[in-house]
Amino acid sequence: MNREYYSDSIAAFLGASPEEILGRLATNNDFALEQTQRDAWLEEIIILKSALLPFNGSIYFEYSIPRMGRRIDVVVLVGSVIFVLEFKVGETDFASQAIDQVWDYALDLKNFHETSHDCFIAPVLIATQAVRTDPFVAATPQNDRLLLPIKATPSMLGSVIESALQFADGEDIDPKRWEQGRYCPTPTIIEAALALYGGHAVSEISRNDASAINLSQTSGSISSIIRLSKETSRKAICFVTGVPGAGKTLVGLNIATTHIDKESALYSVFLSGNGPLVAILREALARDKVRREKESGRKLRKGVAMSEVKSFVQNVHNFRDECLIDLGSPPIEHVALFDEAQRAWNLDQTSSFMRRKKNKPNFNQSEPEFLISCMDRHPDWAVVVCLVGGGQEINTGEAGITEWIESLNRSFPKWHIYISSRLSDSEYGAGAIWNKLNALPNVTLKNDLHLAVSMRSFRAENVSYLVKQLLDLNVEEACKTLGNVNANYPIVITRDLNKAKQWLRSRARGSERYGIVVSSQAQRLKPHAIDVKTPVDPIHWFLDGKEDVRSSYYLEDVATEFHVQGLELDWACVTWDADFRYSKSGWEHWSFCGDRWNHVHKPERQNYLKNAYRVLLTRARQGMVIVVPPGDPADKTRNPTAYDPTFAYLRNVGFEEI
């Protein structure tokens, strides 16, 4: 299947009539051809026929970028350069969002298209009604052959192409080889939800190289379990485990979109107890739906769009409350996918909530046990899919994977259990899990259900291992892993927050998102204008643009582990407070109360604090800066002795200081 609607050599393009080219574009167009789109294509064709007259190469119209759910207007291969052309038909100026848009397209090819990695890529923005501009050809500071966006008028496009060719060196690009290059993207969870909801297959938006279990393979394994359960009238539970950023949520979203039809017997529901994630995904889907309708010449109110997408991603607490209304009726869905299942509540937390909020004083089930019991009401078959992160429990009463296993052992011994034999990390409490599983009769091992390679940090997949080694105080191994990671995934440390902000801004290109993340217990960062008690709207923080003061780009509002778990940034600033301190005897755990720091003694709360930093340190896709403030000898709550050992530890591991 071709990625583009039209492709040919430049010579053949110049020799064809505009009507012939339009006909091929219209034939391959997935949607009804609007007059505005036809007119835009015609104007692009006329401009390009003039601009490309002196050149040889290849041309591609409407080149698909499934990770972004969009198409590049035109890609042109000339000499050693890939030109990414974005036309703004009828526009007189070069809007900053349009500049970021063409830069994003070029970055996507640079990062994820195999045969574009090592090529010069020139993003060019053409405002068709602009009178004049001063085209400027230059490389980005990263010096990776991606040029800064170039602004051009239609009459200047030919000279812009000539200038870029003079700037670049290297061998001419072979169009056939370039076309055959694999597209191996690693989308953010927001991009993935938009693409899957828009009809793209998971294979189009995820890596398929040998170093990672293909997400299609994992999704296929779950689908086969669902079909088998239906055909044999059995009840089954699958545990999808993996390192942070490995794609567990993406697998769940893929199953949900595959079985999104409510009339189907295989209808599935994607459930998450992560309130910010649910709100952000719903908002992103609704905004995208409105945008697509507007581009097609139709109006759609955001409220209507929101009502349509709500069934795709649901809050697990709404599902739970619905099941409390009639304790005998099964839910409409035969398949329930629980994201971040490790965060489901234990018996004490669930009982307390039910007593205080739901007026059920004698409730005696943990959240995992109750959720399984809801699906067990089906008289024939049901499947529960638990997407479980190790070392990701960050709040009081979160039970981890162990409580799910104990619930099965205690109340549902006949359910069929599917789990990977590769589940061995200490973060999962793996030893205790295997002891409990051995007592159950219907356990099947399927290694496809464990995702061992992080895809979040597409520049260096071992970041999650580095963070684990760092938090486990395994200095020797952390030093080795850092050596492998640093070449493609920069991690730097500093005592100066302003330097960290400058570093973030200098690294990010296009609309690559950056922001400051801190522990929810980091209460002595106020002198640095960071107050974790100030409410932050995660929708604005994660979705709004550079012009909005509420967005992460402004580097004013900060997000905590509760806001960012399950989500990601391209570049992150992790600001480290005195709540989690390094000492020669190990990590020290502190909580600020009133006017002083107090030791945290409970092992459970100590674990939550360690996991909070695990979440924060694994949010960045491309690189991060860690800030450990210098403290202040005049402030007993910010004594340098609370910060200096942590910074010295990080420097000893080998992180570069800025």
H helices present in 438-474, as ranges: 463-471
> Where residue 206 falls among pLDDT bands split at 50, 70, 90?
low
Return the pLDDT at 429. 56
What secondary structure does DSSP assign to 77-146, as a single string?
EETTEEEEEEEETT--S--HHHHHHHHHHHHHHHHHBGGGTTSEEEEEEEETT---------B-TT-SSB
Provide the residue count of the chain.
658
CA distances in angstroms from 634 to 514, 578, 640, listed in the order given? 33, 16, 10
Return the pLDDT at 457. 61
- Do the domains at 213-273+313-451 and 463-657 have one common CATH topology? yes
- 463-657 domain in CATH 2.20.28? no
Return the pLDDT at 1. 62
pLDDT tens across 210-219, in order? 445 567 788 8
> What gap in Å lies between CA 251 and CA 218, rounded to an integer?
7
Query: In 508-585, at which residue ranges do the beta strands (DSSP E only) sit?
Result: 514-518, 569-575, 580-583
Is-contact 330 375, C-beta < 8 A?
Answer: yes
Return the pLDDT at 35. 86
> What gap in Å lies between CA 324 and CA 307, rounded to an integer?
23
> What gap in Å lies between CA 454 and CA 425, rounded to an integer?
15
Percent of the chain with pLDDT over 90: 64
The domain ranges of the chain are: 6-179, 213-273+313-451, 463-657
Return the pLDDT at 211. 45
Q: Is residue 529 over pLDDT 60?
A: yes
Q: Is residue 616 over pLDDT 90?
A: yes
Strands 491-494 and 620-627: parallel
What φ, ψ does residue 203 adopt, rounded to 5°? -65, -25
> What gap in Å lies between CA 240 and CA 621, rounded to an integer?
22
Return the pLDDT at 357. 87
**β-bridge mates for residue 444, sequence order:** 418
Give the CA diameter of the chain: 82
Rounded to the nearest angstrom, the gap between the alpha carbon of residue 526 and the centroid of all alpha carbons in its chain is: 29
Neighbouring residues of 579: CB distance < 8 A, sequence distance ≥ 6: 519, 521, 522, 523, 589, 590, 591, 592, 597, 609
Is-contact 465 433, C-beta < 8 A?
Answer: no
Is-contact 315 273, C-beta < 8 A?
Answer: yes
Q: Is residue 188 over pLDDT 70?
A: yes
Task: Answer with the residue of higher pLDDT: 389 or 338.
Answer: 338
The tokens of 335 are what? 């398949």
Task: Answer with the residue of higher pLDDT: 83 or 197.
Answer: 83
Is-contact 389 351, C-beta < 8 A?
Answer: no
556-565 b/e (C-beta count within 10 Å ≥ 16 → b): ebbbbbbbbb
What secondary structure does DSSP assign to 272-334, as a single string?
ES-HHHHHHHHHHHHHHHHHHHHHTT----HHHHHHHHTTTEEEHHHHHHHHHH-TTSPPS-S
Q: Is residue 343 over pLDDT 90?
A: no
The tokens of 639 are what? 């004594």
pLDDT tens across 109-160, in order? 999 899 999 999 999 999 999 988 888 999 988 889 999 999 999 999 999 9
> What gap in Å lies between CA 549 and CA 102, rounded to an integer?
23
CATH of domain 213-273+313-451: 3.40.50
Question: Counting Cβ atoms within 10 Å, is residue 181 exposed (0-12), middle (13-18) or buried (19+)?
Answer: middle
Rounded to two decimals, what is the model's pTM?
0.85
Return the pLDDT at 434. 75
